Amino acid sequence: MPDPATALAWQAQRIEALEAEVAYLRDQLAEATGDASQSILMSEYGLTHQEARVLARLMQPAPTLAALAAAMRTESTLPEKLVQVLICRIRAKLARVGLVHAIETAVGLGYRLTPHARRALAAALDETPAQEMSR
């Protein structure tokens, strides 16, 4: 029988892996059902596909670093560094449209949207389909 610390570490790794799998499956479901939020984020804020996926993940409750890496759909051995690069790019693009300091670093967890940025992005996603339908 493994010692409690080893068992706890294994369980933490397993939880992180399952969170990443859930994030991946949510992305697959969103694509299959025609979720337009990523395309709206791309057109409104000039984001790439990967940046839009990461930002969409940030808009969900408590995104972990593993979930953000899973949103990138990369096989890289350095997903944390890639997440950092994408977060930097997203921050710059959001700042250009007035959302300065929209993403904050959550020490030991990853990143999160500020409440102001979350409201602004949610409003943009809610308004855009209605605007397009009224045309």
Could you give the number of structural domains in the chain?
A: 1
> What's the pLDDT at 134?
38
- State whether residue 104 is helix, strand or coil: strand
What residues pair up with 111 in beta bridges, in sequence order?
105
Which residues, including other chains, have CB under 8 Å from residue 119's CB and lie 6 or more apart? none
Residue 19 in contact with residue 64, Cβ under 8 Å?
yes
Question: Taking 90 as the threshold, does the pLDDT of residue 107 lie above it?
Answer: no
- State whether residue 75 is helix, strand or coil: coil
Domain hosting 126: range is 4-134
CATH of the domain at 67: 1.10.10
Tell me the per-residue pLDDT of 31-88, one tens digit each, with 9 for 90 and over.
Answer: 654 456 777 777 778 888 788 888 888 887 777 777 777 776 655 555 778 888 999 9
Residue, of 125 and 98, whose pLDDT is higher = 98
Q: For residues 1-17, give the mean pLDDT.
A: 87
Residue, of 110 and 42, whose pLDDT is higher = 110
Q: Phi and psi (nearest 5°) for 7?
A: -65, -40
- State whether residue 3 is helix, strand or coil: coil
Tell me the per-residue pLDDT of 14-33, one tens digit each, with 9 for 90 and over.
Answer: 998 888 887 777 666 666 54
Looking at this protein, which amino acid is placed at residue 10? W
Q: Give me the helix-helix angle, 65-72 and 4-32, nearest 10°.
A: 40
Residue 65 in contact with residue 23, Cβ under 8 Å?
no
